Amino acid sequence: MQLDTTAFADNGVIPGEYAFAVIDPSTHVRLSGNKNPDFKWSGAPAGTQSFALVCHDPDVPSRGDDVNKEGRTVPASLPRVDFFHWALIDIPPSTSSIERGSHSDGVTARGKPGPDAPREGRHGINDYTAWFTGDKDMGGDYYGYDGPCPPWNDELPHRYVFTLFALDVPHLAVPDKFTIYPEHLPSWVARTDKPTPYDRVRDALARDGRVAFLDLRPALVAAKARERVYFQTDSHWNFNGAIVGYEELMRAVRQKISDRMPDVAPAKRPPYTPGVDYYSGDLLQMLGMPSRVREDDVAPLAKVLGDTTRCARRIDKDEFPGFEIYVCDKPGLPRAVMLRDSMAISLIPLVSENFSRIVYISSRTLDREIIEREKPDIVIEELVERSLHAPGALPMK
């Protein structure tokens, strides 16, 4: 894609009207125009469902001991960290420009309101929120664009990187067990004919049209007539249920990146040995029942994990908590990032066979830095039904 602005040249100086503050000879700094720059873009890839625009400063001092202190300077040799000035997400795919000053026009003490953006999309919280923590005059939640304000005594000139992402994010919502097996709920549980939270999220995303939402309920209800798809002693699906979800997911992925994924790795069902394969799940633990209470594990995941013929292998050594990285050496496979919860434990050995590299992140927050670094062909978000509210509470970083 090509991203352009009339506000400044690439690698040029950003004019003061786009800055949060500028240098003042008498007071060191003073507040400035704080307008967001104008942008236009072209060349979005086919299948784009939304855009995200991000601005960050990679040159912020990692320690504040000398920042803005009289008689001291911030040495250029000091290690630097990122500071995010703007995160505008959910920009409609039909949009190809942003007007100057349309999202910010002046400094707002305690931050501009959010997350809804003035024109299009939604704003994330920028890093002025943390910077002004504890400041009685300026402290608050800073949504949207707030421009440059580097330390006035820093030896290192700061860079400001504006990045536009074209997003195609399938959303995989795994139903809770009670949704698939309502007949096993206690008689005192009141049932309603009104739309469930799952229904409302599905319908809202369908109206929006920018995120592919996979409703697994019909496929799982059909599958439960043939086989057990959730554990009896656990809140999670078993490997049979995971296979159903995997096949639905990969069908949707192929529709998005068919040029990179001509085939999907078949799901191999592990053999069940009566009297040998047992399982004791989290529901028993929550109830404080002994581990000797168990059920037949009709689709033992342990046998899948022990299969040495699988292509995918994990290459990290748990050095990054919450991350798992798998690679498969088959030529021509795409790359992926998948946000996941514990429902994906049994999906991982299936999904990993289809990607040259896939990073699994145990998080409900989409981190743009990871996407920029990994450059995936597709991003997948898996959430269990009871956590569908989480992205709203934890917006993109």
Q: Dump pLDDT digits (tens) for 198-218.
A: 888 888 888 877 788 899 999
Task: Give the number of other CB atoms < 10 A from CB of residue 90.
Answer: 21
For residues 295 and 355, state if they share a domain: yes
Annotate 291-325 with b (16+ C-beta within 10 A) or e (fewer). Answer: eeeebbbbbbbebbeeeeebebeeeeeeeeeeebb
For residues 214 and 125, state if they share a domain: no
For residues 182 and 127, state if they share a domain: no
For residues 163 and 177, state if they share a domain: no
Q: How many domains, the chain?
A: 2
- 333 token code pair: 């496979």
CATH code of the domain covering residue 126: 3.90.280.10
For residues 214 and 311, state if they share a domain: yes
**Contact at 8 Å (CB) between 322 and 341?**
no
Distance separating the N- and C-terminal Cα atoms of the chain? 22
For residues 162 and 176, state if they share a domain: no
For residues 266 and 337, state if they share a domain: yes
For residues 42 and 97, state if they share a domain: yes
Q: Which of 142, 167, 192 is the last residue of a domain?
A: 167
For residues 241 and 137, state if they share a domain: no
**Contact at 8 Å (CB) between 192 and 203?**
no
How far apart CA 256 and CA 213 sit, in angstroms, is: 13
For residues 173 and 290, state if they share a domain: yes
How far apart CA 89 and CA 123 sit, in angstroms, is: 6
**Contact at 8 Å (CB) between 371 and 339?**
no
**Contact at 8 Å (CB) between 380 and 172?**
yes
Q: From first to last of its 397 residues, what are the pLDDT tens digits of the chain? A: 999 999 999 999 999 999 999 999 999 999 999 999 999 999 998 878 788 898 999 999 988 889 999 999 999 999 998 888 998 887 888 899 999 999 999 999 999 998 888 777 888 888 898 889 889 999 998 989 999 999 999 999 999 999 998 876 667 788 999 899 888 888 888 777 788 888 888 888 888 777 888 999 999 999 998 899 999 999 999 999 999 999 999 999 988 888 888 889 999 999 999 989 999 988 888 888 777 788 999 999 999 999 999 999 999 988 888 999 999 999 999 999 999 999 999 999 999 999 999 999 998 777 878 888 899 999 999 999 988 876 655 555 5
Beta strands in the chain (DSSP E): 2-4, 21-24, 28-31, 39-42, 50-61, 80-91, 97-98, 122-123, 161-167, 171-174, 213-215, 278-279, 295-296, 313-314, 323-327, 335-339, 357-361, 378-384
Beta strands in 155-226 (DSSP E): 161-167, 171-174, 213-215
* pTM score, whole prediction: 0.62
How far apart CA 322 and CA 43 sit, in angstroms, is: 34
Q: Which of 143, 167, 191 is the last residue of a domain?
A: 167
Q: Which domain holds residue 6?
A: 1-167
For residues 364 and 340, state if they share a domain: yes
For residues 151 and 232, state if they share a domain: no
Looking at residue 320, its pLDDT comes to 84
**Contact at 8 Å (CB) between 397 and 87?**
yes
- Amino acid at site 81: V
- Amino acid at site 363: S
Q: Which of 167, 194, 212 is the last residue of a domain?
A: 167
